Amino acid sequence: MLLRLSMMLGFVVSFCGLSSAQDLKLDLEKSKIDFVGKKPAGETHKGGFKEFTADAKVDHDSPDKSTLSIEIKTASLWSDSDKLTAHLKNPDFFNVDKFPKIKFETTSVVAGEGEATLTGKMTMLDKTVEVKVPVKVEMSESNLVLTATFKLDRTKWGMNFGRPNINDEVEIVATLNFKQ
């Protein structure tokens, strides 16, 4: 049990830096990146992204040399309303024709037992903002699962349409399942 906990914490701590260490393969069928947008009156809309990649490299000997990066194709955006999906893709929000990708790259990790806080640079709408993402970590011999539920303030990337009738914070729910 102690060895397993040590391996799990070693992986979590290992997200920053560069390495030619062990590559983990993302299992797209078991992974997702979703969001929930809300209005002050309580109305909610669910959505997400169908196409994304995530690369993780792990160095168990030198955890500080490991990396995690995520790239999302903005045109793969979906929501619970076709009309809303079209609006979210236009220049009022994601402007998918001009900005086809969202990127996240870790810069540091603070690990705890079965959880961590990933700090990284998120680039969206041609603006890079540092974000902190809390994750739960589940590890087995065959896979590693990172689950994150957190909020992003869309206005930090200049996404101001609909204020104050649409909340600035958007809830993100992401599950990344990696095969070892």
Task: Give the pLDDT score at 66.
Answer: 64
Q: How far apart are CA 126 and CA 146, in angstroms?
A: 26
Residue with the two structure tokens 């957190």: 150
Task: Give the pLDDT score at 13.
Answer: 42
97-147 residue pLDDT tens: 999 999 999 998 777 778 888 899 999 999 999 999 999 989 888 998 999
Task: Give the pLDDT score at 61.
Answer: 63
> Which whole-number Å values give the CA distances from 34 to 49, 59, 149, 165, 174, in the listed order?
6, 29, 10, 21, 6
The parts of the chain modelled with pLDDT lower than 70 are 1-20, 58-66
pTM of the model: 0.86
The residue extents of the domains of the chain are 2-179
Task: Give the pLDDT score at 19.
Answer: 39
Cβ atoms of 7 and 60 within 8 Å: the answer is yes
Listed residue (55, 47, 99, 93) closest to 73, CA to CA: 99
Q: How far apart are CA 90 and CA 97, in angstroms?
A: 8
Listed residue (98, 93, 8, 1) closest to 47, CA to CA: 93
Task: Give the pLDDT score at 43.
Answer: 97
Task: Give the pLDDT score at 7.
Answer: 42
Task: Give the pLDDT score at 109.
Answer: 78
Domain 2-179 has CATH 3.40.640.10: no
